[in-house]
């Protein structure tokens, strides 16, 4: 039981892994969540998503959402279905993204359930989708969009300010002040930090002071490749695959962030005359809607992003970008033998139209599969990166003959150096720093660097752990 005079944080996801982000913050007069994300990848993900919440949803006063990625937002419809009726605070852009993403997530769960039930025998109990479109629409009605850099009060004893995290459109670092009597404590949630110097979005805002910090560690054990060599690799892949008319390039890409970034790079390389006459197919209905939405938020772009928008207005004929609207148009892409760049979701190859393109493209040596984002353990994308020789897609075994190229410089997540640089923006050490949202080796590597360089007090929570702020290490769940 929570002691009435104490402030507790429970780590209910993204602890020891990079998905399922969810934190429960409990004080004397409130309970609120930061994020309510879906678990992705691995054989236990579906069971974890379907299990009951470890708290009572109807007792949660409000939810604050760092950004729209499904591993941070994907269980919100389930939360609302199970009794949460409070407001959901997030940035304006994230609120607009959720209208796209939660509906798309619902569609995936409903169609997956229908597909599975068709396979089941009459005596087998049918499965139900994780949630329905009714649940998703209900949750969207609870959104309370907020602007960056403006402080609001979701509760009498809680103030929140969202700062640009530079990760994806609308992503936020959370500054949260909690008043207990005459005293106020500050907690900062980094959310997912963007990599500085990347195009389109601005760099993450630096925070100068906090009492407690929860920081992500997705790439806490490594440095990304520099952007220029990564762009060189992209040019080489195009020249080796597309230009000679050998085959196609298939790019699994997250519909939010990565897809728009790849399109940006292709236009930028065209502008710089490093490639020409590209034919690019964006085959993801959700990515198409997000791309259109991104174009409407130019005010969030950095200087280079705005400059490319100006160039595009007069040179959009120099690269062909086609949106495939129907299933038939998507299927037709698999009849193209060469010359196409196909960008499709999902980014980890675990659902969506990308599976059809991989099913038809993996066994052709002429093709290149370009991996440009993080691949969680247990996903098809991770197996391809790890060098598997054959995969099973839709029940059919496919030999992996295509070239698998991983380009690490396009990550939307800050690498170890960028995280440490961001941490050095604090003028004084937090009383406690909790390292989350990373596989164990990543979190441990980042913790060592923080201890060695900054000499901060750190902790790596496990799933289900609870920390009473100001009282030392976490209690194991």
- Reported as a single tens digit per residue, the pLDDT across 275-323 is 999 999 999 888 899 988 988 888 888 888 888 888 888 887 889 999 9
Is residue 280 within 8 Å of 391, Cβ to Cβ? Answer: no
* Bridge partners for 392 per DSSP: 397
Question: What average pLDDT does the segment 416-425 reach?
Answer: 97
Q: How confident is the model at residue 56, as a pLDDT?
A: 98
Checking if the pLDDT of 437 tops 90, the result is yes
Q: How confident is the model at residue 314, as a pLDDT?
A: 82
- The Cα 266–Cα 477 span in angstroms is 47
- The Cα 440–Cα 145 span in angstroms is 34
All structural domains of the chain with their residue ranges: 8-222+412-468, 227-410
Question: Residue 432 gets which letter from DSSP?
Answer: E
Checking if the pLDDT of 1 tops 60, the result is no
- Reported as a single tens digit per residue, the pLDDT across 109-137 is 898 888 888 888 888 888 899 999 999 99
Is residue 400 within 8 Å of 388, Cβ to Cβ? Answer: yes
**Domain at 227-410, CATH class:** alpha beta
State how far the alpha carbon of 109 is from the alpha carbons of 75, 137, 194, 341, in Å. 12, 15, 29, 28
Contacts of 181 (CB under 8 A, 6+ apart): none
- The Cα 223–Cα 209 span in angstroms is 26
Question: What average pLDDT does the segment 152-168 reach?
Answer: 97
- Out of 52-56, 170-174, 391-395, which region has the weakest mean confidence (pLDDT)? 391-395
* Bridge partners for 175 per DSSP: 161, 188
Is residue 262 within 8 Å of 273, Cβ to Cβ? Answer: no
Structure tokens at 286: 């959700």
Strands 390-393 and 396-399, bridge-based pairing: antiparallel
Taking domain 8-222+412-468, whether its CATH number is 3.40.50.720 is answered by: no
- Reported as a single tens digit per residue, the pLDDT across 6-35 is 899 999 999 999 999 999 999 989 999 999
- The Cα 203–Cα 227 span in angstroms is 15
Give the count of alpha carbons within 13 A of 151, CB side only.
8
């Amino acid at each position: 039981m929570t002691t009435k005079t104490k402030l507790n944080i429970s780590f209910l996801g993204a602890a020891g892994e990079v998905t399922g982000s969810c934190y429960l913050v409990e004080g004397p007069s409130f309970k609120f969540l930061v994020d309510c994300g879906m678990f992705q990848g691995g054989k236990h993900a579906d069971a974890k998503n379907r299990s009951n919440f470890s708290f009572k949803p109807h007792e949660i006063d409000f939810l604050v959402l760092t950004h729209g990625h499904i591993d941070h937002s994907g269980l919100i419809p389930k939360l609302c279905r199970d009794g949460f009726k409070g407001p959901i605070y997030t940035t304006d852009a994230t609120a607009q993204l959720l209208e796209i993403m939660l509906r798309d997530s619902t569609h995936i769960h409903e169609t997956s359930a229908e597909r599975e039930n068709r396979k089941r025998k009459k005596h087998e109990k049918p499965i139900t989708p994780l949630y329905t479109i009714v649940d998703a629409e209900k949750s969207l009605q609870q959104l309370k969009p907020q602007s960056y850099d403006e402080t609001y009060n979701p509760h009498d004893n809680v103030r929140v300010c969202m700062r640009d995290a530079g990760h994806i459109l609308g992503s936020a670092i959370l500054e949260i002040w909690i008043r207990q009597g005459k005293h106020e404590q500050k907690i900062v949630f980094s959310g997912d930090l963007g990599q500085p110097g990347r195009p389109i979005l601005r760099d993450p805002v630096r925070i100068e002071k906090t009492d407690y910090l929860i920081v992500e560690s997705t790439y806490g054990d490594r440095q990304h490749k520099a952007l220029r060599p990564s762009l060189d690799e992209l040019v080489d892949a195009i020249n080796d695959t597309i230009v000679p008319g050998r085959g196609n390039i298939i790019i699994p890409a997250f519909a939010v962030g990565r897809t728009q970034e790849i399109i940006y790079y292709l236009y930028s390389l065209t502008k710089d005359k490093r490639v020409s006459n590209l034919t690019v197919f964006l085959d993801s209905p959700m990515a198409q809607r997000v791309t259109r939405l991104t174009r409407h938020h130019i005010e969030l772009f950095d200087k280079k992003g705005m400059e490319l928008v100006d160039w595009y207005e007069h040179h959009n004929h120099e690269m062909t970008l086609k949106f495939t609207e129907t299933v038939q148009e998507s299927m037709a892409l698999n009849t193209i033998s060469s010359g196409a760049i196909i960008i499709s979701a999902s980014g980890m190859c675990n659902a969506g139209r990308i599976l059809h393109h991989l099913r038809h493209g993996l066994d052709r040596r002429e093709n290149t599969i370009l991996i440009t984002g993080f691949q969680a353990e247990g996903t098809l994308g991770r197996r391809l990166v790890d060098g598997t020789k054959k995969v099973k897609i839709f029940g059919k075994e496919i030999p992996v003959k295509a070239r698998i190229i991983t380009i690490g410089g396009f990550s939307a997540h800050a690498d170890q150096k960028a995280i440490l640089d961001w941490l050095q923006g604090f003028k004084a050490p937090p009383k406690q720093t909790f390292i989350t949202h990373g596989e164990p080796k990543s979190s441990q590597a980042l913790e060592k660097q923080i201890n060695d360089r900054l000499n901060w007090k750190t902790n790596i929570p496990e799933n289900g752990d609870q920390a009473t702020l100001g009282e030392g290490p976490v209690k194991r769940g």
